[in-house]
Structure 1
Amino acid sequence: MVLSELFNELNDLLWALGLITGSIAFLLLMPKKYSLKLGEYPLLLAGLFGLIMFAIIQIYS
């Protein structure tokens, strides 16, 4: 019983880490034109990453 709950939590954690890693990879692999534009607006970039994190938290809670 406890072990299956632990595996479920681990599964959720791994999915969340995968989504976060995917979003970071997406932001890193963006075309240079858009990457430079986002670099000019660091608050927009932080907001985009925060929005992704918020969506992940809402999915898993």
Structure 2
Amino acid sequence: MHVHLVFVTKGVSSRRLRQEFPDLVSRYWRANKLWFGSYFAGTVGGAPLSVVEQYIEQQNRPV
């Protein structure tokens, strides 16, 4: 059930991103997919949302 939810979410978000940001298609489109087939799920142990947002913002981004 959880895996299906992840794939549906990735599919919907991919379509919406391609509609809103057409340049993503030419820059990141690989094998007709915007996302990789894998995913990661984790917990944050009750950390405040601001801490999680800060952590995500500090991650490396693709060039």
Sort the TM-score into its range (normalised by shorter chain): 0.3 to 0.5
Specify which structure has the bigger relative contact order, considering alpha-carbon pairs within 8 angstroms and separated by 6 or more residues: 1
Relative to total residues, which structure has the larger helix share, 1 or 2? 1
TM norm structure 2: 0.43
TM norm structure 1: 0.44
